[in-house]
Chains A and B, each alone.
Chain A
Amino acid sequence: MTGPDFEGLLRHIRETADDEISCTECFALVPGYVDLEIAGRAAAAAPALRQHLDRCAVCREEYETLRDLARLDAEGRLPSIDDLRDSL
């Protein structure tokens, strides 16, 4: 047993802000942020959102999946429904 991961926790503690957005607020902001990212204009956008994504593993998983999905779609490379079914 290596024991609890204090280092990761400590970083989150150190970066804790007095006000942080909720998961619902995060969900509302993510699509706009993803489209900004795809357009290459997200560098300094939405610090509160990025902070939440760093803390919240479930929101982060959903954001990363949406980002990759929307990027493939924008590039015309998203597999069709039939191809996705075949690859399950």
Chain B
Amino acid sequence: MTLKARDNAQWLAALRSSGAEQAAALVELRAYTLRAALFALRRARGALGAMGRTEIEALAEDCAQEAVMAILKALDSFRGDSRFTTWAYSFAVNAALMTARRERWRRVPLDQVIEHGARVWAASGDGDDPERRALEDETATAVREAIEHCLTERQRQALTAVVFDGVPLDELARHWGSNRNALYKLLHDARRKLKAYLEVRFSSPPQPTLPGER
């Protein structure tokens, strides 16, 4: 298919029109989003495991269609600070990579990952292991203390899963029936608490050592 070159205003006008002009614009938009979805899924191929070409093509078709629907819904929010096609691509990339991440983590029991993260966390902080303690510097110890003392259990779980175990934000959000923004906010609040704790901790001047304590 030869795609017609349109500037931003022409894209908006065509998509807001009716009849043949709108239909032609929709077909072209669909081609743009399909190309972007295929590009993104090819790049995320490793997340799709043993999935064959036909299945990935079907996923790309679904993502492309989902992107077109999202674009039409968001048309009034297009600010014109990018090319229309770059903006349109972003919806397809988002749909494709969310799908790839979901596929990658679909068979991973996140409850177990969260539980395992808590066990690793507890084991790595084992105060009876002098060898491990020796490996940990003062800063790591302070971060550990801050995490233990300042965060809620939910913040601790999210931090461990996302930062240490690499669980994608959107997958953890989906698992908890939440959303990406809310989870980012949860982690941002957690980081702010940790930062405040560490600033106080490291702003204290070193205590003088009494001769008897050497």
Residue ranges of A at the interface with B (Cβ–Cβ < 8 Å): 1, 3-6, 8-10, 12-14, 16, 18, 20, 22-24, 27-28, 30-32, 34-35, 55-58, 61-62, 65-66, 68-70, 73, 78-81, 84-85, 87-88
Task: Give the Cβ gap from A49 to chain B, nearest Cβ, in Å.
Answer: 12
Is A58 a contact partner of B101 (Cβ separation < 8 A)?
yes
Give which listed residue, A14, A35, A81, contacts B38 with CB less than 8 A: A81
Decide yes or no: A9 and B192 within 8 Å by CB, A31-B87, A88-B53 being known contacts: no
Name the interface size band of chain B. Answer: 35 or more
User: Which residue of A is nearest B77, CB measured?
Assistant: A28
Q: Cα distance A78–B170 when bound, in Å?
A: 28
Which one of B10-18, B19-27, B29-37 is at the interface?
B29-37
Contact between chains at B90 and A31 (CB < 8 Å)? yes
Question: B interface vs A, CB < 8 Å?
Answer: 31, 34-36, 38-43, 45, 53, 56-57, 77, 79, 81-83, 85-87, 89-90, 93-94, 97, 101, 120-121, 123-124, 132, 135-136, 139-140, 143-144, 159-160, 162-164, 166, 168-170, 180-181, 184-185, 187-188, 191-192, 194-195, 198
By a CB distance below 8 angstroms, the chain B residues around A34 are: 82, 86
Taking a contact as CB atoms under 8 Å apart, the answer to whether B35 and A10 are in contact is no
- Contact at B34–A81, with CB atoms within 8 Å? yes
A23-B184 contact, Cβ under 8 Å, with A9-B143, A69-B93: yes
List of B residues within 8 angstroms of A3 by Cβ: 120, 124, 132, 135-136
Q: In the complex the two chains form, is B188's CB within 8 Å of A58's CB? A: no
Instruction: Quote the shortest CB–CB distance from A85 to chain B (angstroms).
Output: 6
Q: Cα distance A20–B163 when bound, in Å?
A: 18
Q: Is the CB of B42 within 8 A of A23?
A: no
